[in-house]
Structure 1
Amino acid sequence: MCRIFGYFNAAATPHEMRAVAALQRHGGPDATRAVRAPGWGLGSNRLAVVDLDGGEQPYGRDGRVRVVFNGEIYNHEELRAGLVARGHDIPDRCDGSVLPALYLEYGEEFTDHIDGMYALALIDERGPVPRLLLATDHIGMKPLYLRWDAAERSLRFSSELPALLGFSGIGARVRESALDAYLATRTPFGTRTVYEDVDVLQPGTTWVCELGGTPRVRRRPTDAAEGPAPDGFTAARRVRRTLRTEVGRLLVADVPVALITSGGLDSSLVTALAAEKGPVDTFNIAYRGSWPFDERHFAREVAERTGATHHQVEIDPADFPSLLQDTVWHLGQPNADPIALSTYALFRAVRGAGFTVALTGDAADEVFGGYERMRVAAERSAAGGEWSAGYLDALSAAPAALRARLYTPDYRAHVAADPALPAGVLAELLHGPGTVLDRITRFELEQRLPAYHLRRVDHLSMASSVEARVPFCQPSVVALGRALADHQRIQGGQVKRTLYAAAAGLLPERVLARPKQPFTLPVTAMLRPGTALWEHARDLLAVDRLAERGQLDGAAVEALFTAQAERPDDGAALALWALLSYEVWHEQFRRPVALPGMAPVVPDGPRTLAVAA
C-alpha cells in the first residue's frame, strides 16, 4: 500500500515533487522515492505491507517500463510464478514488483489479470516518445485525482486531493455548484471534486497518453454477475463459502492485521470468518457518556463468540471540533457522513495499537441490498407508487425542499442550470434496464460507493498509515450479490436476506436478530446547545460569515438551529452537520489569512496550511 503522484507532458520543480510527497506521506511513511525525466515524473510514498525489505518503487526502475503503485495485489504469488515460468525476472516478493513484467507480457490488458485494489501509473519508454498509462481497480477502492489541461495536454496526478494541490496552479477555482452537489449527494458526485480543474479517474478505467498527445480513456467491462443465483439456502451457502475464501486471502500480510467490528451484521461476519483462520484482534469505537445507537456491547459479544482480543476505542465528544478539523483536511473536500469523524479516530487507534492492515465490512449494503432507502423504493415501486423523489432525498444531506429554502435566490438560479446528478446518470437510475432494485444497486455500486464511502475509508485509514481491506468489494463477492433476485435481497421488510442467511450459526443470535441501524455518529443527540460541537457550529455558521459567499440564506440556517434546539430532529441535525463540515473545509482550504495591517491574499490551495498541519 502506498501513495503515488506524478506529472506528464509537464514540468514540476523538485520542490513541488517534495511538497506533494510530504502532503501525503502519512499514507506511505516507510519510504519516499521519485524519478524524473524530460516531460514526466513519477513518485511514491510506501507503506510496507508485503516484503518489508523489498518493493522499492518505481518498480522496474532499471528498465524501460516503470510503475508506481498504490494498493494490494492479492494474487501476486500466482502471477509471479506464471511470469517467472515465462522467463521474466521478478526482483523480490513484493506484490507490486510483478507489474512491469505483467505489462510486458500482456500490454494494456495486464490489469485484467490483477485481483486486488489499486491505482497505478506506468511509464513505457520503449517507443519513440514516452507513454503514460494510469489504471484504477474495478470498484474504486483506490482513488486517483487528476488535473488534465487540455490546452497544454499536460497531466498532474496524486492519490490524495490535498497533495495534488501541492503542484502549482491547481485548485484555484471552486465549482460554483459544489455546495449544492454536496448537499444533494453528501459529497461531490461521481468523478467530480469541489474544484473545477480536478477530477477523479473512474473505477475500472485505463487512461493512456503519449507525450504531447491526447489521452485514450477506456472503461473496462465490469465483472459480470453470476446468475441466476440458486434459491434458498444454496445461495446463502455459496455466499458464505466465497466470503470465507476472500477473507482468508485478505488476511495475508507481513504486518499485523486487525478487524473493524461495529457489532452489525457485515463487519461481524467478516470477523467470524477471519477468526476461523486463527486468533484475531477486533476494534470498536464508542463515545464517552451515554448516547443512542451505542453498539459496543454487540461488538463485545462478537469478540467473545469468536475468541478475539477486543480493543474498545472511546472518544470524548468534547474533542469533536479538533477531530473534525483533522478529518476534513485528510478528506480534502467535504463529506457529510458524520461517521467520517469516528472513522478517522478509529483507524488512528488501530495504528496506535501496532496494526498496519484492517479488514472492514464496508460495501455489504450496496452488494446485498441493505439500505432502508432501497427497501422503501423497492416496495413503493412494486405497489405502483412513485419512489424516485424519496430515494433521492434519502441520498442527500438536505432534501430538495430544504435546499431550496437554504439557498439565496441567486444561488437557486445557478444550481437549477447545473444539477447535482448528471442527466445521463439520473436517466439510467430512473428508466434504465432491470427492476428498480437492480437499477438502484447498479447506481449505488458504480456511482455512490466509490465517491461517498470508499474514498472516505481510503483517506481516513491511510491518514494513520493503515491499509483498509474490503472483502465485500472483491469481484467474486460482488458478482454473487449482483446475481441475486430482488426477493433474495429484500422482501417482507427484511433487507440483506441472503447475507443474514449466510451468517446464521456464525454470530450471536442477538446480533442477527437486532434491528438494523447505521454505523454512524449519533449527531442528532450530540449537536445540542451546550456541547462543544454546537458551539463550534454556531461560530462557523454565523450569519455574517455565510453572507460572504452569497450562497446560503443566513436566516434559513438560523431556523435550522432553532428547530434543532427546540425539537431535535435527524433531518435538521444532518443538515447542520453537513453545513458545518463544508465550512470547516472552506476555513482550511479557501479562507485567506492575512497578517495585521495587510490585505488578504487568496491562496491557490491549502499548501501553506497543509504543511503546517
Structure 2
Amino acid sequence: MCRIYGHFGGEHSANHLRAVALLQRHGGPDAQYQAAGDGWALGNNRLAIMDLDHGDQPYTLGEHLKVVFNGEIYNHDELRTRLRSFGYTFHDHCDGNILPALYDHYGAGFAEHLDGMFAIAVLDLRRDPTLVLATDQAGMKPLYYRWDRQRGALYFSSELPALLSLPGIGWDPWLPGLDAYLASKTPFGEQTMVDSVQVLPRATTALFTAAGGLRTVRRDDTAADEQFNDLESAGARLQEVLREQTRLLALADVPISAITSGGLDSSLVTALLAETVPDLTSFNIAYKGDWPFDERHFAREVAERHGTRYHQVEADPARFPELLHDVVWHLGQPNADPISISTYLLFQAVRDAGFKVAVTGDAADEIFGGYGRIKQALLDGEGDWAHNYLEALAAVPGKLRQSLYTDDYRAYLKQHGSAYETLRDTLGKKFGDTGDRLAAITSFEVDERLPAYHLRRVDHLSMASSVEVRLPFCQSAVTRLALGLREEFRVRGQEGKRALYQAARGLLPDSVLNRPKQPFTLPITAMLRPGEALLEHARETLSPAALRAGGQLDAAAVQNLISSQIERPSDISALAIWSLMVHQIWREQLGAVRTTALPIGEAA
C-alpha cells in the first residue's frame, strides 16, 4: 500500500517532486522512492504491508520498463508462478514485483489479470514511449491526473492536494462544482472540483504518449452466470464466497483488524475474519454524550460472540470544528457525508493501537440493494422514481439548492445545465440500456456514487493515518455474484440485502439480524443547535463576508437557513448547513494553499 505520483512530458525539479512526496507522506511513511529521467519522473511513498524488507519502487524490468503501484494484489502468488513458466525471474515476494513482467507479457491488457485494489503507473520507454495508468474494478484506489495538451505532458498523483503543488497545474475551481457537490454530496464522474484535474474512473486503463495524447479504455465487467432457485442456496453460496474472499484479504505481514459498526455488513465481515485471524481486534466508534444512532452495543455483541478483542473509540463532539478542517484537507475536495469526521478519528485510533490494516464492510448496500432510496425507487411510479431517487442522493434538495444560489450562479446553471440534469441523463441512459430499474440503479451506484463518494472518502481518511483498508464487498467475486442475483434475492418491497441476510444467519446475533437499518453517521441535527460548538463554527464559517467572496451563494439565504435550523431543527436543513460549511472550508483551503504552493515547492 502506497501513494504514487509522477509525470511524463514536461520538466520538474527534484524539489518540486519532493514537495509532492511530502504532501502524501502520511499515506506512505515507511519509505520514499523516486526515479527520474529526461522528461519523466515516478515516485512512491510506501506503507509496508507485504514483504516488509523489500518492495523498493519503481519496480523495473531491464532499463526501459518501470512501475509504481498503490494497493494490494491478492493473486500475486498465482501470477508469479504463471510468469515464471514464461521465463521471468523475481528477487522478492512483494505483491507488486510481478507487475513489470505482467505488463511485458500481456501489454496494456495486464490489469485484466489482477485481483486486488490498485492504482498503477507503468512507464514503457521502448519504441514509442508510453505512460500506462490503471485502476481497479471497484475504484478503491484513486488516481488524479492533469493532461496538459499544450505542453504534451501528463501529471498524476494519489491525492489531489499533492498534484496541485506542481507548478503549471491550474487551481481554478470547476464552476459547476458547487451545484454538482450539493446535488450528489461530491462530484461524480471524472471531473474534480478543480477545473484542470480529472480522476481516472474505476476499471480503466489509460495510455498516454506525447504524440498521440491520452486514450482511456474501460475494461469489461463480467456478470456472474450462477443462477439460484431459492434464497437459501443463494445465501449459502454468498457466505462461501465471502468466506473465501475474507480469508484472501487476511493475508499480510502485519497485524490485521476489523471495523465493526454494529450493522449487518461490517458484523458479517468481522465474524468471517475472526475465523481466520487469531485474537482479532475489532474497532467501533461512538460519541461522548447521549446522541442518536449509537450502535456500540450491537458491535459489542458481535465481538463477544466471535471472541474478538473489542476496542471502543469515543469521539468528543467539542473537537469537531477543529477536526473538520483536517478532514476536508485530506479529502482534497468536498464530501458532504458527516461520517467523515468519525472515519478520520476511527482510523487514527486503529493506527494508535498498532494496526496498519483494517477490514471493513463498505459497499454491500450498493450491490445488494440495501439503501432506502433503492427500495423506494423500485416501489415508485414510472414518472416519479428517477426524480425521487436523485433527490434522495442530494446533500440539499433541488428547490432548496436553487434558493441558496445567487442570481448570477442560477443564470450560469440555466445556460450551461444543472447537475440534476446531468445525473438524470446518466441514469436514464443506464435504464434505457437495460429496461431494468434495479440494474440501472445498481450500475449508477457502482459506476458513479461508490467510487466518488464512498471509496475515496474511506481511502483518503484511512491513509491519512497510514492505515490500509481492505473491502471484501468490493472484491470482483462478490460483486459478480451480487449483480447476478435475481431482483427478489436482493430487494423485495422494503426488504433489502435479502441474500446477504440469509448468508449471515447462524453467524450473527438475532439482535443484529432483526434490527432496523439505521445510518452510521454523525448526528448533526442534534449537534447543530444553540450551545453546541458545531453551530457556532457554522455561523463563523458561513459568515456573509465569506460567502460573498465566493460569488455563488446568497449570503442572506444561507443566514435564513441557519436561523430556520435554530428555530425548527430538521435533518434537511442540518445536512444543508453541514454541506455548505464543508464547501466553504474547502474553498478557503484551496485559496490559501494556492498563494503558498509555489514557494513551498521551491523550498522543499
Instruction: Read off the aligned partner of 1:512 and give its amino acid letter.
Output: L
The structure-2 alpha-carbon separation of the partners of 1:31 and 1:375, relative to structure 1 and needing over 3 Å to count, comes to same
* Cα 1:525–1:607 shift into 2, 3 Å: farther
Closer, same or farther: CA 607–538 of 1 in aligned 2, 3 Å? farther
Show CA shifts across 1:18-40 (max 9, x none).
00000001000111111111111
Change in CA separation of 1:152 and 1:544 when aligned onto 2, cut-off 3 Å: same
- Identify the residue that residue 316 of structure 1 maps to in structure 2: 316
1:500, distance to aligned residue in structure 2 (A): 0.6
> What is aligned with 1:500?
501
**Residue type of the partner of 2:268?**
L
Give how far 1:169 is off.
2.5
Matched, 1:156 2:130: no
C-alpha displacement of 1:151: 2.2
1:563 aligns with 2:557: no
1:148-297 to 2 correspondence within 5 Å?
A: 148-277=147-276, 278-297=278-297
State whether residues 59 and 97 of structure 2, in contact with CA within 8 Å, keep that contact through their aligned partners in structure 1. yes
Name the SS for the 1:583 alignment partner: helix
1:509 equivalent in alignment to 2:510: yes
- Could you say which residue in structure 2 is the equivalent of 1:394? 392
Gaps of 5+ in 2: none
Contact 1:282-1:311 at 8 Å conserved across structures: yes
4+ residue segments displaced more than 6 Å:
none
**Contact between 1:226 and 1:482, CA under 8 Å: does it hold in 2?**
no
Counterpart check, 1:476 vs 2:477 = yes
2:138 matched to which residue of 1? Answer: 139
Cα distance in 2 for residues equivalent to 1:556 and 1:209 = 46
Distance 2:371 2:88 in 1: 47
Distance 1:339 1:164 in 2: 26
User: What is the distance in 2 between the residues matched to 1:347 and 1:226?
Assistant: 37
CA 1:305–1:373: 2 relative to 1, 3 Å: same
Is the CA contact 2:227–2:484 (under 8 Å) kept in the aligned structure 1?
A: yes
% identity of equivalent residues: 55
1:607, distance to aligned residue in structure 2 (A): 8.1
Note if contact 2:386-2:424 (Cα within 8 Å) is conserved in structure 1.
no
Contact 2:167 2:598 in 1 (8 A): no
What's 1:580 paired with? 581
Does residue 603 of the first structure (1) align with residue 595 of the second (2)? Answer: yes
SS at match of 2:355: coil
Task: Confirm or deny that 1:301 pairs with 2:301.
Answer: yes
**Residue type of the alignment partner of 1:83:** L
Once the two structures are TM-superposed, the CA of residue 174 in structure 1 deviates from its matched residue by 0.6
* Alpha-carbon distance in structure 2 between the residues aligned to 1:550 and 1:162: 23
2-side partners of 1:409 and 1:342: how far apart?
36
Q: Secondary structure at the match of 1:215?
A: strand
Q: Which residue of 2 aligns with 1:366?
A: 366
Checking the alignment, whether the CA contact within 8 Å between 1:171 and 1:604 is kept in structure 2 is no
User: 1:26, 1:462 within 8 Å by CA — same for their partners in 2?
Assistant: yes
Note the alpha carbon deviations across 1:334-388, whole angstroms, 9 max, x for none.
000000111011001000000000001000000100000001110114xx45211
2:95 is matched with which residue? Answer: 95
Alignment of 1:411-430 (within 5 A): 411-416=409-414, 417-420=416-419, 421=422, 424-430=425-431
Q: Gapped runs of 5+ residues in structure 1?
A: 593-601
**1:11–1:422 Cα change, 3 Å:** farther
Give the Å deviation of 1:215. Answer: 2.1
Contact 1:131 1:209 in 2 (8 A): yes
C-alpha distance in 2 between matches for 1:445 and 1:14:
39
Q: How many residues align?
A: 599
Q: Say whether the 8 Å CA contact 1:207–1:216 is kept in structure 2.
A: yes
Mapped partners of 1:9, 1:300: distance in 2: 54
Q: TM-score, normalised by structure 2?
A: 0.96
Query: Deviations for 1:133-176, whole angstroms, at most 9, x for unmatched residues?
Result: 11111110001000001222211100000110111122421111
Deviations 1:64-95 (A, max 9, x none): 21100000000111111121222211110000
Q: Name the amino acid aligned to 2:348.
A: R
More deviation in 558-567 or 425-434? 425-434
SS for the counterpart of 1:66 is strand
1:608 deviates by 5.2
Match of 1:518 in 2: 519
Native 8 Å contact 1:375 1:490 kept in 2: yes
Q: 1:418 to 1:590 in 2, by over 3 A?
A: farther
Is the CA contact 1:161–1:332 (under 8 Å) kept in the aligned structure 2?
A: yes
